[in-house]
Homo-oligomer: A and B are copies of this chain.
Amino acid sequence: MPWTNTNDRKLRARAEQVIPGGMYGHQSTFLLPDEFPQFFRRAQGARIWDADGNEYIDYMCAYGPNLLGYAHPEVDAAAAAQQRLGDTMTGPSPFMVEFAEALVGMVTHADWAMFCKNGTDATGMAAMVARAHTGRRKIVMATGAYHGAAAWCTPLPSGTLPDDRAHHIFHTYNDIDSLDAAVAAAGDDLAAIFVTPLKHDAFVDQEMPDPAYARHCRDLCDAHGALLVVDDVRAGFRLARDCSWSVVGVEPDLSTWGKLIANGYPISALLGADKARAAASSIYVTGSFWFAAVPMAAGVKTLEILRTTDYLERIEGLGRTLRAGLQEQATAHGFTLRQTGPVQMPQILFADDPDFRKGFGWTLEAMKRGVYLHPWHNMFLCAALTEDDVRQTLSRTDDAFAALKKRGNDLPSTDRLQMILGPH
C-alpha cells in the first residue's frame, strides 16, 4: 500500500479549529518535515501505525515511555487486572508501597520515592525539596538543558516572567570552570545543582558526562551543603538498572524519573536519599491522578522485567548494529553523520547541515519508507526491536540516503525551524 496522508490532513484541519495551532508540545509536528504524520491510531511492540494506516518501525518510542515494547503483554495484564479493581480511588492502593519499595531497591542512592504524573512535576518537586532542605534559593543548571515545560523551566519564554526563574544560574555542561563560576555566583544561597545524566539537548550533538565533571558536581554540593539532582526523566533505565550516573560512580541526593518507569502508563517519580527525607515530607504537592493504582501496578511489573531480563543489553546490541550500519551507509553515499550519545538513545545529525535540510530530507525519505526517525531530537530504542527490524530499517535508510543524494541541493527550506532556532 503506498504511503498516503489523506486522513492525517483531514484531522489536522479539524484540529486547527479546536486546538491552538492545531497541536502543541513535544509531539507537535510543527518543527518536523511537512508530511510527517501528526496522528496515530495504533502501537504494538516496536511499531506504530498512523491515522492513514501507514506502518513504521518507531525510533521515538513515544519520546521515551515505550521501553519494553508498546502493549507489552505482561505489563498490560498487570495493568488490566488492577483496572478492573480500581485506578484513581479515594486513596492509593497497596501497589504504591510496592512500587516505592521496588524503586528504592533498584536505585542505589534512593531511600524513598514520591510519585507524580509529569516529568515536570518531579523536577519541580526536586527544586522545592532542595529549597526546603537548604533554606536557600539558587539552582545551578546547564544552559540548554531541558528540565520540563512549566513556567519556571519551559524552553520558550512566552507567558513566563523573569521572576519564574530569578534564581537559576547557568553553566556549560561538562565544563568544570563554568560550573565553578556558577556555584561561586550562588554565594551562600546554593540550594541545588540540577544535571541531566548526559547532555541530550535538542538540535545539537549529545555529550556523555565527563566523570570528572560528575564528581565535581557531587563535591561542590557536599562542600556547600546543597543537593545534587540528576534529572533522569529522559534517560533513566535506558542506560542502567540504576540511576544513570551510577555508570560514572556518582550518587545524587535526588533523582527525577518518568516516561518509562511503568512502560508508558502515566506516572513519574522523585527519588531521594534519607538526607532529604524531612524536607520532602515538608512540602505540599499533589495531583488528581497521582495516586492512581493502575500505573503503579504496571510499574511494579515493569521493574520486575527490568531486573530479570537482558532488555538493556539487547537494546544496546541493536543500537550498536544500527549505528554502525548507518555510518557505513552514510559514507557510501557521501554523507557525514554525527551520531552521538548512547546507542540506545541516539542523536543523528548531518555534518554541514546548519539548517537541518539534509536531516529533514533524509528522515522524510525514511518515514515514507516506514522508518520513523527524528531530525533533531534524540531517539529511543525499545526492547521489542529485533535484529530483523534493524535489518529492515537499514535497508530502508539505505534507500533514503540514495534518494537524498539524488535530490542534491534541491531540498526545501526549513523555515519554521529557523524561526525558532534563529540565525546560524
Those of A1-35 within 8 Å (CB) of chain B: 7, 11, 14-15, 17-21, 23-27, 29
Those of A388-422 within 8 Å (CB) of chain B: none
A118 CA to B64 CA, complexed, in Å? 20
Cβ of A302 within 8 Å of any chain B Cβ, yes or no, is no
Q: Are A92 and B18 in contact (CB under 8 A)?
A: no
Q: Identify the stretch in A212-220, A273-281, A320-328, A330-338 within 8 Å (CB) of chain B at 4 or more residues.
A: A273-281
What does the 1/0 interface line of A151-170 toward B look like (CB < 8 Å)? 11011101111011011000
Q: Are A18 and B112 in contact (CB under 8 A)?
A: yes
Q: Identify the stretch in A55-63, A178-186, A349-357 within 8 Å (CB) of chain B at 4 or more residues.
A: A55-63
Residues of chain A having any CB pair with chain B under 8 Å: 7, 11, 14-15, 17-21, 23-27, 29, 37-44, 48, 50-51, 58, 60-66, 70-71, 76, 80, 83-94, 96-97, 100-101, 104, 111-114, 117-121, 124, 127-129, 131-132, 137, 149-152, 154-156, 158-161, 163-164, 166-167, 233, 258-259, 264-266, 268, 272, 277-292, 372
A283 CA to B294 CA, complexed, in Å? 31
Q: Are B124 and A285 in contact (CB under 8 A)?
A: no
Copies of this chain per assembly:
2
Q: Which residue of B lies closest to A87 (CB)?
A: B264
Which of A149, A264, A284, A372 is the most central at the interface, judged by chain B CB atoms within 10 Å of its CB? A284
* Nearest-Cβ distance from residue A285 to partner chain B, whole angstroms: 5
Q: Are A288 and B167 in contact (CB under 8 A)?
A: no
Q: Are A132 and B112 in contact (CB under 8 A)?
A: no
A124 CA to B287 CA, complexed, in Å? 13
A124 CA to B149 CA, complexed, in Å? 11
**Considering the complex of A and B, which 4 residue pairs feature the smallest CB-CB distances, nearest first?**
A25-B286, A128-B159, A21-B281, A43-B86
Q: Are A65 and B88 in contact (CB under 8 A)?
A: yes
Q: Are A149 and B23 in contact (CB under 8 A)?
A: no
A404 CA to B158 CA, complexed, in Å? 56
Q: Are A97 and B18 in contact (CB under 8 A)?
A: yes
Known A20-B112, A131-B159; contact A89-B11, beta-carbon cutoff 8 A: no
A97 CA to B25 CA, complexed, in Å? 15
Q: Which residue of B lies closest to A7 (CB)?
A: B94
Q: Which residue of B lies closest to A372 (CB)?
A: B90
Known A97-B18, A128-B160; contact A25-B291, beta-carbon cutoff 8 A: yes
Q: Are B11 and A97 in contact (CB under 8 A)?
A: yes
A86 CA to B58 CA, complexed, in Å? 13
Q: Are A19 and B114 in contact (CB under 8 A)?
A: yes
Q: Are A40 and B90 in contact (CB under 8 A)?
A: yes
Q: Are B64 and A288 in contact (CB under 8 A)?
A: yes
Known A94-B11, A94-B41, A158-B283; contact A86-B266, beta-carbon cutoff 8 A: no
Which of A113, A150, A280 is the most central at the interface, judged by chain B CB atoms within 10 Å of its CB? A150
Contact sample, A vs B, 9 pairs, CB 8 Å cutoff: A40-B86, A40-B93, A42-B89, A63-B90, A71-B86, A117-B289, A152-B164, A154-B284, A163-B163
A42 CA to B89 CA, complexed, in Å? 8
A242 CA to B285 CA, complexed, in Å? 29
Which residue of B66, B118, B163 contacts A167 across the interface (Cβ within 8 Å)? Answer: B163
Residues of B within 8 A of A272 (CB): 20
Q: Which residue of B lies closest to A85 (CB)?
A: B42
* Nearest-Cβ distance from residue A166 to partner chain B, whole angstroms: 5
Q: Are B154 and A285 in contact (CB under 8 A)?
A: yes
